[in-house]
């Protein structure tokens, strides 16, 4: 079943019974099905061809949902673009994906149009007017055709587009519905649909055939108000966001009695946060682990929560802990976590070498270090890749370093992450200046903000005559972590 067929199936059950809510707006699944079908035909009538990429740069909204499903039904590939990205980052995704068109929220249009200068991508800030009439004729779309490219930072300096087909994304949604949702859930989508978590929540609600509630943008008060107003029963969010939900609930309590299931994923979930959330909201906060490349891998079952762990493998998902030669390691030993799942992406867009490294031997190599205890629970132990994960968003140190090197006063730069109780990690940069250069943190941050999303800009920039090097002459990031821990004051929250 393709994703378009999934929506159509739920619309046929009762066209007006279930709906997508966003603020004071709503659209029934029947209306979403009909409008996205007409939209799909509009896209094909206006020159897009099977397999073309459709970029989406829009906040959580009914319009964004319509674009996704129109692309799915037309046999096009949706390319969600992170809302926090700056023009150079947007330009990279538009160019690397070779998107033919970009639907962009009006307020974000200046960034996209700056990014798009010199390319052939059309930028539209409004959905087309769709004329009613006979039921539109849609093309036959296969389950193994690509449906979406989810861009995620990897071990290189630029984001890579994980290719999910209708089958792999459908399997990801099935695993969520069968393992962590209840048949009567009302799903709150508090994370952007431009992120794997937010898109997964929306699609799960539709597969379930239940109401979906979208937050246009994350706000802890709005999240709690939505739970109270719509009787939301299920939520999945980033740990950093749920920290703020707890603080808001303590400050101004709402009725959260409808909540039955709340998961945190995308980053490590502190035990302290789990305890404070349960006390404030009356429901356990359970840790879950997944990746854009394969969605849900493991989770803590309700009646067998092991705080601090990532939980047990989900459904038929297989997880191994291996050494550098992909040999299995015994319980209690730390190694790389590799995964085999029906929801695993088929590779990275236009990047065969990265695809081979990711999927070698038929197993997805996460780059994350973990151990398995004797009861089968998985415990996160660190990252083989040097990615910094700040509030669930991947940040490549090399990407930040490249922008630092663009400043004429910078001789050397090294970027690393440092632990943070709210965001999981924060970004720290070490810089060695050219002789005669006079730079401060403020000037370098202003330079970085031109090219990078704000969440990628280092909270601290420290100046040092020389950066530590490894045996190959590369900057040794582990030494940077030690330098920061030993000689710098703690970061304020």
Which DSSP string corresponds to 257-293?
TT--EEEE-SS---HHHHHHHHHHHSS-EEEEEEETT
The answer to whether residue 111 sits within a structural domain is: yes
Q: Could you tell me if 203 and 234 lie in one domain? A: yes
pLDDT at 356: 97
Q: Could you tell me if 359 and 404 lie in one domain? A: no
231: domain CATH number? 3.40.50.12780
pLDDT at 489: 55
Q: Which residues of the chain have pLDDT under 50?
A: 155, 493
pLDDT at 493: 44
Q: What is the total count of domains within the chain?
A: 2
Q: Could you tell me if 67 and 119 lie in one domain? A: yes
The answer to whether residue 493 sits within a structural domain is: no
User: Cα–Cα distances in Å, from 332 out to 52, 297, 306, 329, 413?
Assistant: 47, 19, 16, 8, 37
Q: What is the pTM of this model?
A: 0.87
Q: Which residue range forms the structural domain that includes residue 394?
A: 388-487
| Residue owning tokens 């980033």 | 238
Q: Could you tell me if 367 and 439 lie in one domain? A: no
Q: Could you tell me if 338 and 416 lie in one domain? A: no
pLDDT at 399: 84
CB-based contacts of 458, cutoff 8 Å, min separation 6: 400, 415, 426, 427, 428, 429, 445, 448
Q: pLDDT by residue (tens digit) across 78-93?
A: 999 999 888 888 989 9
Between CA 237 and CA 288 the distance in angstroms is: 10
The answer to whether residue 70 sits within a structural domain is: yes
């Amino acid at each position: 079943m393709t994703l378009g067929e999934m929506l159509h199936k739920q619309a046929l059950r009762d066209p007006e019974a279930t709906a997508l809510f966003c603020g004071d707006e709503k659209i029934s699944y029947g209306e979403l099905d009909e409008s996205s079908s007409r939209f799909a035909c509009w896209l094909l009538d206006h020159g897009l061809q099977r397999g073309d990429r459709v970029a989406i740069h829009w906040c959580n909204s009914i319009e964004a949902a319509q674009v996704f499903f129109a692309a799915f039904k037309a046999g096009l590939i949706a390319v969600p673009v992170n809302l926090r990205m700056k023009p150079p980052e947007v330009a990279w995704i538009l160019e690397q994906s070779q998107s033919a068109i970009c639907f962009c929220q009006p307020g974000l249009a200046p960034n996209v149009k700056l990014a798009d200068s010199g390319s052939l991508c059309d930028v539209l800030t409004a959905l087309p007017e769709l004329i009613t009439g006979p039921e539109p004729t849609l093309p036959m779309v296969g389950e193994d055709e690509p449906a979406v490219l989810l861009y995620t930072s990897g071990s290189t300096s630029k984001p890579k587009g994980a290719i999910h087909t209708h089958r792999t994304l459908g399997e990801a949604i099935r695993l969520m519905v069968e393992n962590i949702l209840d048949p009567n859930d009302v799903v709150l989508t508090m994370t952007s649909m431009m992120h794997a978590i937010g898109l997964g929540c929306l699609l799960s609600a539709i597969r379930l055939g239940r109401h979906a509630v979208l937050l246009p943008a994350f706000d802890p008060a709005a999240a709690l108000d939505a739970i109270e107003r719509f009787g939301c029963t299920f939520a999945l969010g980033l740990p950093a966001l749920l920290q703020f939900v707890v603080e808001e609930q303590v400050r101004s309590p709402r009725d959260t009695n409808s909540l039955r299931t709340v998961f945190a994923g995308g980053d490590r979930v502190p035990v302290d946060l789990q305890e404070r959330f349960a006390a404030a909201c009356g429901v356990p906060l359970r840790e879950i682990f997944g990746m854009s490349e394969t969605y849900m891998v493991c989770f803590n079952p309700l009646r067998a929560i092991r705080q601090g762990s990532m939980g047990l493998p989900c459904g038929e998902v297989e997880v191994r802990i291996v050494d550098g030669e992909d040999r299995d390691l015994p319980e209690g030993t730390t190694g790389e976590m590799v995964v085999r799942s029906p929801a695993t992406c088929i590779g990275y867009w236009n990047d065969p070498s990265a695809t081979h490294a990711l999927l070698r031997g038929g197993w997805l190599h996460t780059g994350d270090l973990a151990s398995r205890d004797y009861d089968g629970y998985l415990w996160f132990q660190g990252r083989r890749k040097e990615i910094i994960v700040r509030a669930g968003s991947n940040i490549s140190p090399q990407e930040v370093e490249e922008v630092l090197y663009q400043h004429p006063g910078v001789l050397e730069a090294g970027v690393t992450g440092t632990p943070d109780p709210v965001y999981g990690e924060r970004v720290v940069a070490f810089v060695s200046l050219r002789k005669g250069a006079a730079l401060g943190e403020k000037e370098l941050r202003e330079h970085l903000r031109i090219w990078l999303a704000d969440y990628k800009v280092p909270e601290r920039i420290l100046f040092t005559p020389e950066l530590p090097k490894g045996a190959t002459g590369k900057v040794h990031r582990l030494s940077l972590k030690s330098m920061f821990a030993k000689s710098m004051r703690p970061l304020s929250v």
